Amino acid sequence: MPQMSPMPWILLLIMSLIILMLVTSMIYFNLDMNLYSLKKKSTKLLNLKW
């Protein structure tokens, strides 16, 4: 089979999407925790951001 089948590319795409979702969810969770700790420390910064 000299011709490459499209299946591996689709699998690679799906795997990359899943990894991307995992990384973004982890980053979002960490940002949420940091924002929560920031709320305790200072509300002025949050007011400026929002």
The pLDDT tens digits for 2-49 are 576 777 888 999 999 999 999 998 888 888 777 777 666 666 655 665
Question: Around Cβ 38, how many Cβ atoms within 10 Å?
Answer: 13
- Beta-carbon contacts of 46 under 8 Å, excluding residues fewer than 6 positions away, are 35, 38, 39
Enter the DSSP assignment of 5. P
What's the pLDDT at 6?
72
What would the two tokens of residue 1 be?
Answer: 């089979």
Helix, strand, coil % in the chain, rounded to nearest 5: 85, 0, 15
Residue 36 burial (CB < 10 Å; 0-12/13-18/19+)?
exposed
What's the pLDDT at 1?
47
